[in-house]
A and B are shown apart, each in its own frame.
Chain A
């Protein structure tokens, strides 16, 4: 019997068993068959189980029944359940649906785990595993993985990639309302494979289908990567194929039809979200870059990494949020342990008194920093804090509020955590955290031009997204293994750990400027690397969690709130590390609705400032920044900015007709609806501000010769500049003067007054004392100020910036 060595590419139920696709070293694909009979479990009163058995007995050819024992996670012991084994895997979902509808009072387990995942789990495989396969006439006798999901530097099969996109700017083609008479090349289908590009004019439907079919047959690609393939290119190709009666082999498996899932809107974290329709293939992958969740952060490398560690099929990973990935990993741990996986969660929160809730229902610890510009600040971050807490303190839904043993008390809450067994969540996360740390070390050791480095970095950031969501899932009521008490315990530990770190930092003589959930911003004159190392060591020893020096800032600005200038906000800050890299949070450049032109201009200004050293350097660089802003303003007014850089993106939060106030998003939605485009709540509206009563115009329908609304963008740009200069006390009126005129009170645009003086008022003659006035608001020249000027100077001057009108988000 010959042994085949190849990578597991795809597996799905087909016929009486599973179709398994493998790709070998030469890039050759192999389709094999495997038998597989998955089962689900039912628990309930014995008479009801008898009724169920009687009803299932009629389908003896399909199912095999027996009583058996499996572990219940929360009871921590075996319970008696009825095992329903299904001989044809593809029939399980429907059989389960019928059963649960006829017997809704019974409890079901292992019933809704996706079959591809169940198959790989049962065979001890995972997607893209390198396998040794023994087969006889296309049927698998033995399949075994030769590597593990926890390998760091693994080999991947050679993949032939075909890309599909439409010519022109990247716009959602399903929203295009350009007339059909438009004979430009915009909208032509561009197909790239094997470093060659093919163009198919969009008006020649028949030629298009025949052409794509020819390329599919000639190159037999493994992966189709598209932009808007899910909601436009694939459905359109399929329609044309039906219309002309030309078979289009999008699937490698000719027996299957392309799988389609409709679009829907849903509610998540207080926002309406929109999930577009999906088209997935068999024996071949289709990945839509525009319909993938966060793929820009981690690319194909990240998707494959998540598929390997989570056990979910690649096409699923490319379309779902990473929360599904972590949930699948917990299912895998449960299956390995023989623990029953609940179908619908029946785990209400245990009762709490008002006071308990008061103590428990808190999030992470967040300080309000003091607004201003600082130098010599170090940022310490706990590495993957919440998942590390779960692993280190054994926080899991079944270990919290332990009754089984003495356990260990959770700070603040007074409940305890079981210590005699390892929780399901910690067991799932521990290898992932370890793998992540290994990537981190390897990335640091590789030279920056090593091609491996980029690949590792992508996988590393994919882990980050997996780990971020595991925390939310712990408290999510509908997650299979979520329990709010576990979520609360993690939060309580998080606060405790951060406060312990704060105390150690203060004992070492540092001043704590800011605390934010898992980060500390600390300052001490003359502190060096040795001091930080000692500190990190101390914190790590005491808390048991990894903590790292994120960097030392050469300057750092905490910004005041837009609505209350006397108060800083926790998550609006920016700074330059000593190596010149910039960290930005909460200002325009980080917002998703900011048009690229504004975002880039702000980042360019920050890049200019990042060369500056300390507070003095920052102040000295202000004229350069203002000059840059003036140049951008000139270009904007002259109409020189390409329209695609001015596109604003807002999320539509309800049905277009439900809006009472005409927000820009509502206006755009109405424009598109009027043109016959279907729009759902949660979808992103892309538009350009235009002069006149219309105010905004949908980007997908923007006439190329139409001018943009200069004043609207001047306002956006000015606000972006204001955020950058706010740390040195520049207010809106000063900024307007600088940007529009050629001077300021203190000299040419950008020249700041001496430290401490109010930027809006010239020095009064002969009273040098004002220059040292810390309060800034000089009213009269009385002897008061002379005395105040002798007060010690605080390291940072709290800012009082007047925003003429509070600027809110529309």
Chain B
């Protein structure tokens, strides 16, 4: 199927490919962290496509932040539970 614009998955893969050199020069433990982040951005491909943003990479960064913040919130609530004064967040 002919397309004027690349699909969001294509755009994502292109962005990921353009980071190949950055990734290669990272220490291996840092490469794993980067892979996690990139994977987390893929959770929001649908929303990214819907956004039709001019710079897909900005939306990818935001998607990563969303996943990161979810993790912070989850850890915060687990901490509160372990401290013995759980706070209901949900």
Write the residues of chain A forming the contact surface with B, with a CB cutoff of 8 angstroms: 365, 367, 412, 499, 506, 511-512, 783, 787
The 16 sampled A-B contact pairs (Cβ below 8 Å) are A365-B25, A367-B27, A412-B21, A499-B24, A499-B25, A506-B27, A506-B28, A511-B27, A511-B28, A511-B29, A512-B27, A512-B28, A783-B83, A787-B79, A787-B82, A787-B83
Cα distance A136–B21 in the bound complex, in angstroms: 69
Main secondary structure, interface of A, reads mixed
Cα distance A506–B82 in the bound complex, in angstroms: 37
Chain A residues within 8 Å of B24, by CB: 499
**B35 CB to closest chain A CB, in angstroms?**
14
Give chain B's interface residue range (CB within 8 Å of chain A).
under 10
**Contact code string B6-40 (vs A, CB < 8 Å = 1, else 0):** 00000000000000010011011100000000000
Cα distance A499–B25 in the bound complex, in angstroms: 7
Write the residues of chain B forming the contact surface with A, with a CB cutoff of 8 angstroms: 21, 24-25, 27-29, 79, 82-83
Chain B's closest residue to A509 (CB) is B28
Chain B's closest residue to A359 (CB) is B21
A-B residue pairs, 5 tightest by C-beta: A506-B28, A512-B27, A783-B83, A499-B24, A499-B25
Q: Tell me the total A-B contact number using a CB cutoff of 8 A.
A: 16
**Residue from B25, B29, B79 whose CB has the most chain A CB atoms within 10 Å:** B25
Chain B's closest residue to A512 (CB) is B27
**B85 CB to closest chain A CB, in angstroms?**
10
Chain A's closest residue to B30 (CB) is A512
- Other A-B pairs, 14, CB within 8 Å; known A511-B27, A511-B29: A365-B25, A367-B27, A412-B21, A499-B24, A499-B25, A506-B27, A506-B28, A511-B28, A512-B27, A512-B28, A783-B83, A787-B79, A787-B82, A787-B83
Chain A's closest residue to B31 (CB) is A506
Cα distance A506–B24 in the bound complex, in angstroms: 12
Main secondary structure, interface of B, reads helix
Cα distance A535–B25 in the bound complex, in angstroms: 19
**B34 CB to closest chain A CB, in angstroms?**
14
Cα distance A499–B79 in the bound complex, in angstroms: 40
Chain B residues within 8 Å of A365, by CB: 25
**Residue from B24, B29, B82 whose CB has the most chain A CB atoms within 10 Å:** B24
Chain A residues within 8 Å of B27, by CB: 367, 506, 511-512
**B72 CB to closest chain A CB, in angstroms?**
15
Cα distance A499–B21 in the bound complex, in angstroms: 10
Chain B's closest residue to A496 (CB) is B24
Chain B's closest residue to A499 (CB) is B24
Chain B's closest residue to A506 (CB) is B28
Chain A residues within 8 Å of B21, by CB: 412
**B19 CB to closest chain A CB, in angstroms?**
15
**B88 CB to closest chain A CB, in angstroms?**
20
Chain A residues within 8 Å of B79, by CB: 787
Cα distance A365–B27 in the bound complex, in angstroms: 13
Chain A's closest residue to B83 (CB) is A783
Chain A residues within 8 Å of B25, by CB: 365, 499
Chain B residues within 8 Å of A783, by CB: 83
Chain B residues within 8 Å of A499, by CB: 24-25
Chain B residues within 8 Å of A412, by CB: 21
Cα distance A768–B86 in the bound complex, in angstroms: 26
Chain B's closest residue to A412 (CB) is B21
Cα distance A81–B69 in the bound complex, in angstroms: 74
**B10 CB to closest chain A CB, in angstroms?**
21
**A687 CB to closest chain B CB, in angstroms?**
44
Cα distance A511–B79 in the bound complex, in angstroms: 31
**Residue from B21, B27, B82 whose CB has the most chain A CB atoms within 10 Å:** B27
Chain B residues within 8 Å of A506, by CB: 27-28
Chain A residues within 8 Å of B29, by CB: 511
Cα distance A671–B34 in the bound complex, in angstroms: 59
**A168 CB to closest chain B CB, in angstroms?**
55
Chain B's closest residue to A367 (CB) is B27
**B58 CB to closest chain A CB, in angstroms?**
21
**A187 CB to closest chain B CB, in angstroms?**
58
**B63 CB to closest chain A CB, in angstroms?**
27
**A417 CB to closest chain B CB, in angstroms?**
20
**B67 CB to closest chain A CB, in angstroms?**
22
Cα distance A367–B25 in the bound complex, in angstroms: 9
Cα distance A787–B83 in the bound complex, in angstroms: 9
**B8 CB to closest chain A CB, in angstroms?**
25
Cα distance A506–B31 in the bound complex, in angstroms: 11
**B86 CB to closest chain A CB, in angstroms?**
14
Cα distance A492–B24 in the bound complex, in angstroms: 14
Cα distance A739–B24 in the bound complex, in angstroms: 46
Chain A's closest residue to B78 (CB) is A787
Chain A's closest residue to B27 (CB) is A512
Cα distance A512–B28 in the bound complex, in angstroms: 8
**B87 CB to closest chain A CB, in angstroms?**
15
Cα distance A787–B25 in the bound complex, in angstroms: 34
Cα distance A787–B24 in the bound complex, in angstroms: 35
Cα distance A412–B27 in the bound complex, in angstroms: 20
